[in-house]
Chain A
Amino acid sequence: MPRELLKGNTAMAEAAVRAGLEAYFGYPITPQTELLEYMSKRMPELGRAFLQAESEVAAINMVYGAACTGARVMSSSSSPGVSLMMEGLSYIAGTEVPVVLIDVVRGGPGLGNIAPSQGDYNQIVHGGGHGDYHPIVLAPSTVQEAIDLTVLAFDLAEKYRAIAIVMADGNIGQMMEPAELPPMRPLRTEYPDWSTRGAEGRERRILSSIYIDPKEEEVMNYRLMQRWRTIEANELRFKEYFLEDAEYAVVGFGTAGRVALSAVRAARAEGLKVGLLRPITLSPFPYARLDELAEQVKAMLVVEMNAGQMLGDVQRATKERISLNFYGRMGGITPFPDEIHAEIHRMVEQPLPPGSDPRAAWLDSFASVLHVDGR
């Protein structure tokens, strides 16, 4: 396939179509809306199902129903809309049906704004719906990666009967850059042996997230957790830059990781031995690789477009062994490379003592960035 100039949102939509998407249900919300608009034209053109739901609540429950038929289905939304979908996501997890969701994250909390953010890390990676379940979470940093991870999301969701979420941010959704789309896959003709499509010539099937006997519910939870261990063992993805001989490491995902790479390159040009670890799967998270890195480097800098939501996971991996530093931009602000470059210098020249609170130190110095009173 030739490389084309593609916008992230429509590129992810077409990637999903080519991955064999059979039904799309969504609701307009900026900065994701182009994805829904693209589907509204493209899906009917191919004789596939598209429906604009009355709300995100309805959209995710339509996805839930369609997923029960064994079809490849998805929805897309942005942060406040994804918050509304959490109930449905928990039910989907409890029913063990595969679903793909694209979250084009925007600034919050509340109505927030429509600018790019990574403020959904906690609700997507650690939380959201009730009960014990883990979605697979993929974080692209380019339009090409957004395409590739969208296709991967369908394969992983089906392989593990799990939820796979592509967590992009407004930059990835809105930017245009050259990228290559995958070839069109044929739609499936056979459906899994759990799918509810009418009990023709066979025993009836029931799909439910109810296990009214707590003993059975516990067995079901155990099954989910054991499956998650398999996912952790098999599906971890991250990318490393200049880490072979690094004495300092930056950790960032998605757009923050991409901007950090420019800063790391600039620091390398100055002779600083700094590298970058960019998690691609936020869930499962590269704890083991960070654990190794903590033995290698003198200090780490975590960069996010939120107030340090991934920071807690890095802390868990590095266990106060090294100097851990943090820099975040919040509320829909994307950091510039020179800001991160300055933070790399701060890490090298004035590293925080191991075990100190990186978020508190960041907040103290951040007042001068915002030109507000730090108290």
Chain B
Amino acid sequence: MVTVEMNQIVYQRPESLADMPTHYCPGCTHGVAHRLVAEVMDEMQIREKTIGVAPVGCSVFAYNYFDCDFVEAAHGRAPAMATGVKRVLPDRVVFTYQGDGDLASIGMGEIVHAAARGENITVIFINNAIYGMTGGQMAPTTLPGMKTTSSPSGRDVEQMGFPIRMPEMLATLDGAGYVVRRSLHDPKNIRMAKKAIRLAFETQLRGLGFSLVELLSSCPTNWGLTPVESLRWIEEHMLPVYPVGDYKVAQALAGLRV
């Protein structure tokens, strides 16, 4: 049995997370993703040398929640903006935090070329299969048959095409150093996600090129499910389409334990 001293702190807000409430809906996993990134920044002691790039979408206000320098990009352009920062300040840590509409739809060009260039930045990619901020429209990652406010009869792949698997695509590029998918639907997967985020930042610090962690995330509000049902929905419906896995791991990272 584990005993805990009454005055021992076992859980607190990471220093890299600003002390303020977020605007995220109850049950949304953005909060978990934010916390994991902040914990990694604390552990690596990089908060004071990090510049974050926020996207357009539900995490548009991400800049408020991290206690580090932040800039706010135009929709989809975070990888280009991050490139601008990183090229001027190559010794700083630069990361983008982007949703699926931002990264896989309007920002497809920017993300692909940042990866192809081996741009030494880290990308946290939130995939919840929907446009959250604008109220639940179809995203490039929306599952076949999935109902959204702009695919009311379900995504018909004949008309609306197929979901895009970003890590699988980006892993084909030589500039990619670390490209993986994780999920935030249960504690075990959350722990795996944190390790991946750590490795992604380690990739950047070691100058091994572009790093991206896709995080399968929930959107209870726009999915019309409870928070618990949403996590189950990730497991049952998203995981088969978006398998958790390592799609590209630079050889130099192979022996690294975090």
Contact = CB atoms under 8 A, between A and B. Distances in A.
A57 B71 contact: no
Contacts of A95: 71-72
A61 B81 contact: yes
A204 B87 contact: no
A87 B75 CA distance: 10
B80 interface: yes
A108 to B, nearest CB: 23
B51 interface: yes
| Most chain B Cβ neighbours within 10 Å, of A196, A209, A212 | A196
B193 interface: no
A1 interface: no
A199 interface: yes
Contacts of A200: 48-49
A62 B63 CA distance: 18
Interface residues of A, number: 40
A45 to B, nearest CB: 16
Contacts of A68: 51, 71, 81, 84-85
B84 A61 contact: yes
Interface in A235-275: none
A201 interface: yes
B168 interface: no
A197 interface: yes
Interface string B40-64: 0000000111110110000011011
A23 interface: yes
Contacts of A23: 84, 87-88
A200 B172 CA distance: 37
A281 B165 CA distance: 50
Interface in A28-71: 49, 51, 53-55, 57-59, 61-69, 71
Given A58-B109, A196-B51, A198-B50, A71 B88 contact: yes
A65 B49 CA distance: 16
Nearest to A207: B71
Given A91-B74, A198-B49, A198-B92, A65 B85 contact: yes
Question: Chain A interface mostly helix, strand, loop or mixed?
Answer: mixed
Interface in B81-103: 81-85, 87-89, 92
Nearest to B92: A198
A25 B71 contact: no
B233 interface: no
A202 to B, nearest CB: 9
A49 B87 CA distance: 6
Interface string B242-256: 000000000000000
B77 interface: yes
A210 interface: yes
A204 B84 contact: no
B235 interface: no
A206 B60 CA distance: 13
B84 A196 contact: no
Contacts of B64: 206
Interface string A205-228: 111111010000000000000000
A207 B84 CA distance: 14
A66 B67 CA distance: 21
| Most chain B Cβ neighbours within 10 Å, of A23, A65, A196 | A65
Contacts of A210: 60-61, 72
Contacts of A53: 80, 113
A61 B87 contact: no
A53 B81 CA distance: 11
A66 B87 CA distance: 8
Interface in A53-103: 53-55, 57-59, 61-69, 71, 73, 87-88, 91, 95
Contacts of B63: 206, 208
B68 interface: yes
Contact of A204 (B60, B67, B74, B110): B67
A88 B87 contact: no
Nearest to B113: A54
A98 to B, nearest CB: 14
A343 interface: no
A76 B113 CA distance: 20
B173 interface: no
12 contacts: A49-B87, A58-B77, A61-B81, A63-B84, A64-B77, A65-B85, A66-B84, A196-B71, A198-B92, A199-B47, A204-B66, A205-B70
Interface of A: 22-23, 25, 49, 51, 53-55, 57-59, 61-69, 71, 73, 87-88, 91, 95, 196-201, 204-210, 212
Given A58-B113, A210-B72, 14 more contacts: A25-B84, A51-B87, A57-B77, A58-B80, A62-B84, A64-B73, A65-B82, A65-B83, A65-B85, A66-B85, A95-B72, A196-B71, A197-B69, A208-B71
